[in-house]
Amino acid sequence: MTATDARRLHTTTVGDSGARVVFLHGLFGQGRNFTQIAKALEPAAQSLLVDLPNHGRSAWTERFDYTEVADLVADELRAGFAADGAVHVVGHSMGGKVAMLLALRHPELVDRLVVADIAPASGGSLGEFAHLLDSLAALDLTTIKRRSDADEQLAERVDDPRVRGFLLQNLRAHGDTFHWQANLDLLRRSLPVIGGFPDIDGATFDGPVLWVAGDRSDYIRPDEHGPVMRGLFPRTTLVTIKGAGHWVHSEQPEAFVSVLRHFLDLPDAPA
Selected catalytic residue, list 93, 190, 217, 250: 93
Shared-domain flag, residues 163 and 41: no
Shared-domain flag, residues 10 and 68: yes
Shared-domain flag, residues 145 and 109: no
From 158, 189, 220, give the residue that closes a domain: 189
Shared-domain flag, residues 71 and 139: no
Active site residue 249: no
User: Is the model's pLDDT at 253 over the cut of 80?
Assistant: yes
Shared-domain flag, residues 207 and 181: no
| CA pair distance 189, 250, nearest whole angstrom | 27
Range of the domain at 37: 3-124+197-263
pLDDT band, residue 3 (cuts 50/70/90): very low
Between residues 224 and 122, the one the model is more confident about: 224
User: Is the model's pLDDT at 6 over the cut of 70?
Assistant: no
From 173, 189, 205, give the residue that closes a domain: 189
Active site residue 93: yes
Shared-domain flag, residues 103 and 203: yes
**Tens-place pLDDT, residues 38-83:** 999 999 999 999 999 999 999 999 999 999 999 999 999 999 999 9
Shared-domain flag, residues 214 and 227: yes
Assigned domain for 243 exists: yes
User: Is the model's pLDDT at 7 over the cut of 80?
Assistant: no
Shared-domain flag, residues 9 and 35: yes
Q: What is the pLDDT of residue 127?
A: 74
Assigned domain for 183 exists: yes
Shared-domain flag, residues 181 and 202: no
Per the CB < 8 A criterion, the answer to whether 214 and 248 are in contact is: yes
User: Is the model's pLDDT at 271 over the cut of 70?
Assistant: no
Assigned domain for 86 exists: yes
Shared-domain flag, residues 94 and 58: yes
pTM of this structure: 0.93
From 137, 169, 189, give the residue that closes a domain: 189
| Burial class (CB within 10 angstroms; exposed 0-12, middle 13-18, buried 19+) of 126 | middle
Per the CB < 8 A criterion, the answer to whether 121 and 197 are in contact is: yes
Instruction: Say how many domains are in the chain.
Output: 2
Assigned domain for 268 exists: no
Shared-domain flag, residues 23 and 71: yes
Shared-domain flag, residues 72 and 114: yes
Report DSSP letters for the chain, one per residue.
--GGGGGG-EEEEE-SSSEEEEEE--TT--GGGGHHHHHHHTTTEEEEEEE-TTSTTSPP-SS--HHHHHHHHHHHHHTTTTTTS-EEEEEETHHHHHHHHHHHH-GGGEEEEEEES--SSS-S-HHHHHHHHHHHHTS-GGG-SSHHHHHHHHTTT---HHHHHHHGGGEEEETTEEEESS-HHHHHHTHHHHTS----SS----S-EEEEEETT--S--HHHHHHHHHHH-TTEEEEEETT--S-HHHHSHHHHHHHHHHHTTPPPPP-
Selected catalytic residue, list 10, 55, 92, 246: 246
Q: What is the pLDDT of residue 153?
A: 94
User: Is the model's pLDDT at 5 over the cut of 70?
Assistant: no
**Tens-place pLDDT, residues 86-138:** 999 999 999 999 999 999 999 999 999 999 999 999 866 677 889 999 999 99
Q: Please report, for the domain that includes residue 95, its CATH number.
A: 3.40.50.1820
**Tens-place pLDDT, residues 174-212:** 888 999 999 999 999 999 999 999 998 889 999 999 999
Selected catalytic residue, list 134, 185, 206, 215: 185
User: Is the model's pLDDT at 216 over the cut of 80?
Assistant: yes
**Tens-place pLDDT, residues 126-153:** 778 899 999 999 999 999 999 999 999 9
Assigned domain for 269 exists: no
